[in-house]
Amino acid sequence: MVFDNLKNCELYYSLHPRFREGFDFIKKAIAENLEAGKYEIDGKELWASVQEYTSKLPSDAKAEAHKNYIDIQYIVSGAEVIEGFDIARATPKSEYNDVKDVMFYEDDASATKGILNADEYGIFFPNDVHKPGMCLNGIQNTVKKIVVKVKI
């Protein structure tokens, strides 16, 4: 799990051969102010979802992990809290959904909490259970986020 600012994205290009393309899409989406929706970058190998929503109370958010994709979750506007913890200590809450590439987990009281503001992102690998979309200090706000899905 990584939390950083977009100006540092080049530091992570070596982690996966598609990260450069993923970050290039984020920069393009910002420049073009893309609307909410799903965007194909390279078929099922690399795609993105532009989302707009109201941040959730922690009790309404779900801890999740993916087997086939790495998430780059970039905040365009607004702010949110994302919790993360290692899948090795996770307790499953659902069966794995191979169509949606997601499995949900019980919360972990010792999870790392990261605050993502505009122009910041988190990278979540398959071993990173993450609980995104939560409001900061109990105050819900409107968030615009780009989630790039990078096939492993």
The pLDDT of residue 53: 98
Please list the residues that pair with 103 across neighbouring strands: 65
Domain boundaries, the chain: 2-151
The pLDDT of residue 147: 98
> What distances in angstroms separate CA 86 from CA 28, 117, 128, 146, one per listed residue?
32, 23, 5, 23
Burial of 54 (0-12, 13-18, 19+ CB in 10 A): exposed
User: What CATH homologous superfamily does 2-151 map to?
Assistant: YhcH/YjgK/YiaL (2.60.120.370)
For residue 68, how many other CB atoms are within 10 A of its CB?
13
Ranges of the chain with pLDDT below 70: none
The pLDDT of residue 19: 98
